[in-house]
Chains A and B, each alone.
Chain A
Amino acid sequence: MQELIQQVVSGLASGAIFASLALALVLIYNAMGLVNFAQGEMAMFATFIAFTLIIHGLNYWIAFPLTLGIAFVAGVVIERVVIRPVERAPVLTLVIVTLGLATLVNGAAGFLFGYVPRSFPSPFSVQTINILGAFASFQDLSVIAVCGIVLIAIYLLLQRTTIGLTLRAAAHHPEPSRLLGVRVSWMLALGWGLASAVGAVSGIMVAPILLLEPNMMQTIIIYAFAAAVLGGIESPLGAVVGGLIVGLTVNLAGAYVPFVGGDLELAVALAIIVGVLVIKPNGLFGRAAVRNV
C-alpha cells in the first residue's frame, strides 16, 4: 500500500510535467491546427536560460518566473518572425517549419551550452514526507503543486478574462472573430507566447529529475504528444487529464509489470493510448469531427 501511494504520487508528478507540455501543444494546435514539433526544444532552451540565471547567483524563485517571462516573449517573437510569414501555407509546410525550428533550437543549445549533461539545482528538498502512513517524496509533491498552480492560472486566464475569451474565439472561429474586432493575428502570437511559457515549466520541473542537456526533452515530448492526443488534442482540460493518465500508467506499469523496466515504459504508454483511441477515436475530451457549414 505504501509503495502504491509512493508510485501514484510520483506518477502524478511525471503526469503534471507531461500535462504542462501537452497543454502547450494544445494551445498552439487550437490556434492554428498545427502540432508544434519544436515545443520540447523550446522548453529545453528555456531551461538552459533558467540554469544560466541560477548559476549566476539568481535565486531560484526569481529565476523561475523570469524564465517564464523570457520564454513568453521568445514564443511571441518566434511566431512573428518564423511562423507569420508562412501562416497561410499548407499545414505540411508549417510542420516542416516547426521541425526545422526544433533542429535549430537544439543545435543552438548545443552550441551555446554544450552537450555535457548538467545537474539542475532543485529548490525542493530530497526528503520524504509522511502522508497517510506512506512516504511521498517532497520533490514529487512540489512538482505537482507548481504545475498545478500554473495550469490553474492558464485555466483562469482562458476562461475568466477578456483576453482569454478573445484567444479562444480567435482559435476556433478566426473569421467571425475578426468581424467582432478581435486581432486574430496577434492572438496567434499570444498563443505561442503562452505555450512557450507553459512548456518551459515542464522543462524546468523535469530538469532536476533527468539531467539538463540539449536532448533532455526528446522523450518527454513524445509522452506529452501522447497525452495531448489522448485528451483529444483540442481540449486543454483533456491535455491535463491525458498527461496525468500517461504519467500514472507509465509509473505503475514500470513498477508492477515485471518485464516493463525503463526501456519498455514508452512502448507501454503508447500501446495504452492506441487502445483508448481505438475505442474513442477523438480522444477522451475530443468532439466528434463535425464541421459547421
Chain B
Amino acid sequence: MPSALLELENVHCGYGQTSVLHGVTLSVPEGSIVSLLGANGAGKTTTLRAITGGVHWLGDIRFAGRSLRGRHTEDIVGEGIAHVPEGRGILTELTVDENLRLGAHKRKDRDAVRKDYDRVFEYFPVLKERRWLSASTLSGGEQQMLAVARALLMKPRLMLLDEPSLGLAPLVVRSIFEIIRTINQTDHVAVLLVEQNARLALELSTEAYVLEVGRVAVSGKSAELQGQESVRRSYLGY
C-alpha cells in the first residue's frame, strides 16, 4: 500500500461551543485526486480549514508523514499545501499579476517560477490578457481560474479545492476540471476536491468520501460509488 500524502485520523473540531467534525478519518495518496462530498453544512469546508490550521482540532493530521499539530497556517502552506478556499480567496485590492506573484512569493527557484508563469498562461490565456488589471474586474469563472493558477504557482504537492464549480456555468466548470486533471497528471499534484457537484467530482477523482453531519458516511473508489444507485440517491442526490 502506497503511503498517503495526507492523513486525517479521527479528527474532531468545531467553532467555540459547536462541534462540527466528529471523528473524520480520510487519506489522500500521493498524486491522486480524492473527492470530499456531502450536503450543505456537512463539514467539508471545516475539514479543509482544519488541514491548513484555520481551526483547532483534536486527533491527528499528518502531511508527508509529519503531524501538523500546533503548526501555523503560514508554515503548513509552506510545506506544500495550496488551499483554494471557499469563495476563492482572490485579493481584489490587487492586480491579477500581484495575486499570481503572491502565490510564488516564497519560492527561490526563479527560473522554474518563470516557466510556471508561462504554463499558467497557457492553461488560462485570459489571465495573461487581464494580467495588469485589478483582480476585482474578473468574472467569477476568471477568478476561479486565477485562484487555481495562483495555487499552482505555489508549487504544491497537494491542492485543497473548495467547491471550484460554485456559481459557474457548466462549460466553464468543465474546462476548469480538465485543467485540474492536467495539473494532477503532469505535475503529480495530489488534489483533495470538495464539491457539491458529485457527478463531476466522481468522474475526476479516483477515491471519494461522503461526509454527513461531521462524519464519514460512505467512502470508496469513485467508480464504485458511481455505480451504487442507493449511495447516489441517498447521499449524492443524482
Contact = CB atoms under 8 A, between A and B. Distances in A.
B162 to A, nearest CB: 11
A207 B56 CA distance: 51
Contact of A176 (B91, B98, B101, B105): B91
Contact of B91 (A162, A169, A183): A169
B83 interface: yes
Contacts of A162: 101, 105
B150 interface: yes
Interface string B26-61: 000000000000000000000000001000000000
A179 B74 CA distance: 6
Given A162-B101, A166-B105, A181 B74 contact: yes
Contacts of A177: 91, 102
- B91, B101, B102: most-surrounded residue (chain A CB, <10 A): B102
Contacts of A166: 102, 105
A80 B230 CA distance: 57
A280 interface: no
A178 B85 CA distance: 11
Interface residues of A, number: 18
Interface string B133-158: 00000000000000000100010000
A165 interface: yes
A17 to B, nearest CB: 28
A181 B85 contact: no
- A162, A176, A180: most-surrounded residue (chain B CB, <10 A): A180
A89 to B, nearest CB: 17
Interface residues of B, number: 21
Contact of A179 (B85, B98, B101): B85
A175 B89 contact: yes
Given A179-B85, A179-B89, A168 B74 contact: no
A165 B98 contact: yes
A181 B154 contact: yes
A180 B85 CA distance: 11
A168 B93 CA distance: 9
A130 interface: no
B102 A182 contact: yes
Contacts of B91: 169, 172-173, 176-177
B106 interface: yes
Interface string B182-202: 000000000000000000000
A176 B143 CA distance: 14
Given A169-B94, A173-B93, A178 B74 contact: yes
- A162, A169, A176, A292: most-surrounded residue (chain B CB, <10 A): A176
Q: Which 6 A/B pairs are nearest by Cβ-Cβ distance?
A: A176-B89, A172-B93, A173-B91, A178-B73, A181-B77, A180-B102
Interface of A: 162, 165-166, 168-169, 172-173, 175-184, 292
21 contacts: A165-B94, A165-B101, A169-B94, A169-B102, A172-B91, A173-B91, A173-B92, A173-B93, A175-B89, A176-B89, A176-B90, A178-B73, A179-B52, A179-B77, A179-B83, A179-B85, A179-B89, A180-B103, A181-B105, A181-B154, A184-B74
Interface of B: 52, 73-74, 77-78, 83, 85, 89-94, 98, 101-103, 105-106, 150, 154
Given A165-B101, A180-B154, 9 more contacts: A165-B98, A169-B91, A172-B94, A177-B91, A178-B73, A180-B102, A180-B105, A181-B78, A182-B105
